Amino acid sequence: MAKKTKTSLYKDKLPENAYIAGAGLVERQPITETLETNFMPYAISVILSRAIPEIDGFKPSHRRLLYTMYKKGLLHGPRTKSANIVGETMKLNPHGDAAIYETMVYLSRGYSALLHPYIDSKGNFGRQYSTDMEYAASRYTEAKLEPIAAELFKDIDKDTVDFVDNYDSTMKEPTLLPVTFPSVLVNNNLGIAVGMASNICSFNLREICETTIALMRDENHDIASTLLAPDFPGGGYIVYNRKNIESIYESGKGGIKIRAAWSYDKKANCIDITEIPYTTTVEAIISKIVDLVKNGKVKEISDIRNEIGLEGLRITIDLKRGVDPERLMAKLYALTPLEDTFSCNFNVLIAGVPQVLGVREILTEWIAFRTECVKRRVFFDLTKAREKLHLLKGISKILLDIDKAIRIIRETDEEDEVVPNLMIGFGIDEVQAEYVAEIKLRHLNREFILKRTKEIGELEKNINDMEDILKTPERVKSIIIDELAEVAKKYGQPRKSRLLYESEIEDYQELEEEIPDYPCTLFFTKEGYFKKITPQSLRMSSVQKLKEGDVITQVVETTNGKELLFFTDRGTVYKARVSDFPDTKASVMGEYVASNLGFDEGENAVYMVVTTDYSGYMVFVFENGKIAKVELSAYSTKTNRRKLINAYSTSSRLVAAFHMPEDGEILLTASSGRMLLVHTGALSIKTTRTTIGVQAVALRSSHRVIRAELYREGMLARPERYRKRSLPAAGSIPLPDELGEQLKLE
């Protein structure tokens, strides 16, 4: 390890009398030591005190806010301004008013982020499903606790949980809340810490309570039989797969597919989407659909509108005439966030240690936590009952001679001697004597004392019962089960997310609209313009309109169902379908491919390939005389990627590219005037697309290949002169009578 050194930055620059010892010192230390001393405490703090929820289902920020509202009497009282709550919470949560208010918004009913909100809100609290609907400032909104929040604080004043000092040791706050139901699984919770995260989905309250009860009665209970699937506040459909659900319940990790809910208005010919996946927003869905329409991937939609209002969420999609809404929604489910995945990561703090647990383990930990809370509550009540019984037994002794008690008090000269004299006179202890001495004069009658002493029998019965509870685990378990059943009955609600079995879903590929496969002729120009013309239209007019100076480089007779590959001068290939382009006429210039497929700025298409099965080869001829031969199947991908980089080598300028279904000859022309016929069968196939190829033409340093074309019979009078036994070869200078009209050198 390097030795620490200290160097002054300013000692040599300051006058001697101005030098301050230690000023401007730079301490050098290894980066590992810096991380240990500076970053690790921060990381641990974020994990343990900020981002990961604990077994009661809350992060510290949530717990402090709710506890502050509880102490302010907002469980039963009227609403108060959110700003007041935020200000009070800052006494426990030193993270600023903005962070506290965001926490309040998340927990509120108005924001609609929780299945069972804990805060009853009034005013604009925004919406979880919309990024455009922002919440109002805290001075405008009001809040109080929802009735279900009473279950969070039940018996919190009976020593059910531990309390610790707040950040400045002026107040006490609970380390956990004594929740009477497994809130950790009832409301979703997302937290991103340092090096780890937590993402817990929400479950139906009634199902969670029933599952917990069943698990307490039978530790081998089948969780998935009572806890059907997650339940999200936004509703929608959960794509149900029993094996997937069981895997998530077992491991605490996995993905759950959620689909939007929609209906078709036949009269208006539109689709209304009223429930969307919890993981997305209205704006994200609309933006994606608009992009699909602009790119020509979805052609059935004429308009889409965001119609969120007082009635809630609604996205309206206007359809073109004759569109099948079922087919369109199947396509949109596949291409947009209308079907999305909630990634589960059940990471929970257990005794200060983050652990990824399955549902069974989380419920088991909660049962252990709740058992401890109930025992502490019973012990608290038992202690109070014992204390009260002790006092009442003291009163019962006074009952034997009330006049004697009055006489002792009256005849005692000093006040400090009253308690000792009562202790001596009746044989009671100091606590009992103090209690007797404090009885009001109006209560010094036999009726009052008789009423109080009658409680002794009931107290002794209750004490025996509570002692039995503490000794009998089954009785503690029975208390928790009764509380869970009561919570389920009082606050349970029907599922919001319906189940959609995978067997009921038809595959989008099967539903995808069949592409009409009719004959057509494709034209591709040097400037990158593309035309698709039907035979009928071509017969009506065969005179092609072109941009000034442009020429047609490829003409292919094919059908509308084929795929297209456009190779560019940047070593990239773009994929498309013939059907992606509209039918056109010879009298128009056609589609500009670079704009249609989203080329990079300055990128131009140089060659077009039409294929269905990706058979044959691509042959690339480079300026340096090398030729690369690559199977066309190298450009086929399992995913529908529209752009592939590194389509060919860019180490030398591309002269020409050819798609060859089978081997043939290519005629190469060098700047020296020499020509060479190369048979592609003599070229080895390369496995990588970016291969630099093999040297075919022997060139001097000042020369280069300037032209390449597929050889056809009759192009050369004596082709054998240009065929060489081995490569590379220089080729031959053509004689004047050997060149056809189209091959004459400029």
The CATH number assigned to the domain holding 300 equals 3.30.1360.40
- Per mean pLDDT, which of 394-403, 443-452, 459-468 is the most reliable? 459-468
Please say which residue of 163, 179, 195 terminates a domain: 179
Domain holding 13, by residue range, is 6-41
| 8 A C-beta contact, residue 285 and residue 338 | yes
pLDDT at residue number 725: 87
Residue 663: give its domain's CATH number. Answer: 2.120.10.90
Q: What is the mean pLDDT of residues 388-399?
A: 84
Residue 269: pLDDT band with limits 50, 70, 90: very high
Kindly state whether residues 629 and 570 are assigned to the same domain.
Answer: no
Task: Give strand pairing partners of 58.
Answer: none
Q: How many angstroms separate the CA atoms of 499 and 236, rounded?
A: 9
Residue-wise pLDDT for 583-612, tens only, equals 899 999 999 999 888 898 999 999 999 998
Kindly state whether residues 172 and 57 are assigned to the same domain.
Answer: yes
Residue 183: pLDDT band with limits 50, 70, 90: very high
- Which ranges constitute the DSSP H helices of 400-445? 402-411, 418-426, 430-437
pLDDT at residue number 516: 79
Handedness of CA 278, 280, 285, 286 (dihedral sign): positive
| 8 A C-beta contact, residue 670 and residue 705 | yes
Kindly state whether residues 296 and 380 are assigned to the same domain.
Answer: no
pLDDT over 90 at 694, yes or no:
yes
pLDDT over 80 at 692, yes or no:
yes
Cα separation values, 528 from 32, 546, 561, 603, Å: 56, 11, 21, 10
pLDDT over 50 at 321, yes or no:
yes
Q: How many angstroms separate the CA atoms of 544 and 539, rounded?
A: 12
Kindly state whether residues 163 and 60 are assigned to the same domain.
Answer: yes
Q: Which amino acid is at 190?
A: L
Q: What is the mean pLDDT of residues 153-182?
A: 95
Q: How many angstroms separate the CA atoms of 540 and 116, rounded?
A: 69
Handedness of CA 396, 398, 403, 406 (dihedral sign): negative
Q: Which two tokens stand for residue 301?
A: 């939609």
- The answer to whether residue 342 sits within a structural domain is no
Q: How many angstroms separate the CA atoms of 114 and 183, rounded?
A: 11
Kindly state whether residues 655 and 626 are assigned to the same domain.
Answer: yes
More confident residue, 59 or 442: 59
pLDDT over 60 at 174, yes or no:
yes
Q: How many angstroms separate the CA atoms of 13 and 24, rounded?
A: 11
pLDDT at residue number 628: 95
pLDDT at residue number 452: 74
Residue-wise pLDDT for 496-545, tens only, equals 999 998 877 766 554 445 677 889 999 999 999 999 999 998 888 878 99
Please say which residue of 295, 322, 337 terminates a domain: 337
- The answer to whether residue 47 sits within a structural domain is no
Cα separation values, 237 from 113, 307, 317, Å: 17, 21, 19
- The answer to whether residue 284 sits within a structural domain is yes
Q: Which amino acid is at 425?
A: G
- Sort 718 into a burial class: Cβ within 10 Å, 0-12 / 13-18 / 19+: exposed
Residue 746: pLDDT band with limits 50, 70, 90: very low
Q: What is the mean pLDDT of residues 332-340?
A: 93
**Kind of pairing between the strands at 237-240 and 498-501:** parallel
pLDDT over 60 at 376, yes or no:
yes
Share of the chain above pLDDT 70, in %: 93
pLDDT at residue number 734: 86
The total of other beta-carbon atoms located within 10 Å of residue 671's CB is: 14
pLDDT at residue number 3: 47
- Check residue 634 and report its DSSP letter: G
Residue 382: pLDDT band with limits 50, 70, 90: very high
Q: How many angstroms separate the CA atoms of 565 and 648, rounded?
A: 13
Per the prediction, the chain carries an average pLDDT of 89
Q: Which of 353-362, 534-543, 557-566 has the lowest mean pLDDT?
A: 534-543
Please say which residue of 337, 372, 398 terminates a domain: 337
pTM of the model: 0.69
Long-range contacts of 628-631 (CB under 8 A, 24+ apart): 628/686, 628/691, 628/692, 628/693, 628/694, 629/680, 629/683, 629/684, 629/685, 629/686, 629/693, 630/685, 630/686, 630/688, 630/689, 630/691, 631/685
- The answer to whether residue 104 sits within a structural domain is yes
pLDDT at residue number 333: 93
- Tokens 């606590």 belong to 431
Residue-wise pLDDT for 295-309, tens only, equals 888 888 999 999 998
Residues annotated as catalytic (active site), given as ranges: 140
Kindly state whether residues 424 and 468 are assigned to the same domain.
Answer: yes
Q: Which two tokens stand for residue 186?
A: 């009832």
pLDDT at residue number 457: 85
Q: How many angstroms separate the CA atoms of 604 and 620, rounded?
A: 17
Return all residues near 503 (Cβ < 8 A) that are at least 6 apart.
none
- Tokens 């924001």 belong to 111
Per the structure, the count of domains in the chain is 6
Residue 744: pLDDT band with limits 50, 70, 90: very low
More confident residue, 446 or 58: 58
- The answer to whether residue 225 sits within a structural domain is no
pLDDT at residue number 539: 87
Kindly state whether residues 481 and 528 are assigned to the same domain.
Answer: no
pLDDT at residue number 740: 55
Kindly state whether residues 620 and 711 are assigned to the same domain.
Answer: yes
- Give the SS3 label for residue 262: strand
Residue-wise pLDDT for 222-258, tens only, equals 999 999 999 999 999 999 999 999 999 999 999 999 9
Region of residue 594 (phi > 0: left; psi between -120 and 50: alpha; otherwise: beta): alpha
- The answer to whether residue 221 sits within a structural domain is no
The total of other beta-carbon atoms located within 10 Å of residue 486's CB is: 14
Kindly state whether residues 617 and 746 are assigned to the same domain.
Answer: yes
Q: How many angstroms separate the CA atoms of 190 and 200, rounded?
A: 6
- Hey, what's the torsion of the CAs at 62, 67, 72, 74, to 10 degrees? 70
pLDDT over 80 at 93, yes or no:
yes
- The answer to whether residue 297 sits within a structural domain is yes
Kindly state whether residues 629 and 706 are assigned to the same domain.
Answer: yes
Residue 687: pLDDT band with limits 50, 70, 90: confident
Q: How many angstroms separate the CA atoms of 662 and 616, rounded?
A: 6
Kindly state whether residues 147 and 90 are assigned to the same domain.
Answer: yes
Is the bond preceding 354 in cis, omega lying within 30 degrees of 0?
no
| 8 A C-beta contact, residue 275 and residue 261 | yes
* Concatenated DSSP letters of 583-609: P--TTS--EEHHHHTTPPTT--EEEEE
pLDDT at residue number 639: 62
- The answer to whether residue 204 sits within a structural domain is no
Kindly state whether residues 151 and 73 are assigned to the same domain.
Answer: yes
The DSSP element (H or E) to which 611 belongs, if any, is strand 605-611
Q: Which two tokens stand for residue 436?
A: 């007797």
pLDDT at residue number 451: 76
Q: What is the mean pLDDT of residues 201-217?
A: 96
Handedness of CA 486, 488, 489, 491 (dihedral sign): positive
